[in-house]
Amino acid sequence: MRPSLVILGGLAATGLAAVASAKPWLNVAGPSSPVAVRPELPLANALALVALAAWGVLLLTRGRTRRLLGLLAAVSGLGVGAVALLGRGELHTQARALGVTAYTWTAWYWVTIGAAIVVSAAGTMAAARAHTWPAMGRRYDGPAQAPGEAGNSSRDWWQALDEGADPTA
């Protein structure tokens, strides 16, 4: 699969998981009127944000670091799914505390589960293939200094710029 599709899919699913994990997951028909119950599971949202950060940094790195970041995104996606599945019991408890007789799961709950699966799959693909993907260019990286090389202090670099030297060439 093309790297751009994996990255875009991972970013989109991670953003969707972050949004969906903060929305109401349960609609309850209470004694007086219907109520939407938001999950009190900040871990799901936090893990989605960790995966989002991993995808952002993955774009800037190379090699083994990319593999580790892909693995971090995959594990974070699994964590979001696990928290959502394990959080069902807590939401049942909240519904009972409200004196609820009937309730339904909202689409946001199922979107969270689906997005977590896609994040995990994309992270796994990135962990397996990211080391072969093209990297950002090194054109704007700082010049490498050989060990023991003299004349590479910051003052020397500024003087060379004043004299017209191009450090990006």
User: Stretch 59-67: mean pLDDT, rounded?
Assistant: 86
User: Stretch 31-35: mean pLDDT, rounded?
Assistant: 64
Q: DSSP characters for 61-114?
A: --HHHHHHHHHHHHHHHHHHHHHHHHHHHHHHHHHHHTT-SEEEE-HHHHHHHH
Helix (H) or strand (E) holding 50: helix 42-58
Report pLDDT for 142: 61
> Is the model more confident about 132 or about 111?
111
Instruction: Kindly state the percentage of the chain with pLDDT values over 90.
Output: 39
pTM (two decimals): 0.74
Amino acid type, 167: P
Dihedral Cα 109, 115, 119, 121, nearest 10 deg: 110
Residue 111 has pLDDT above 90, yes or no: yes
Residue 31 has pLDDT above 90, yes or no: no
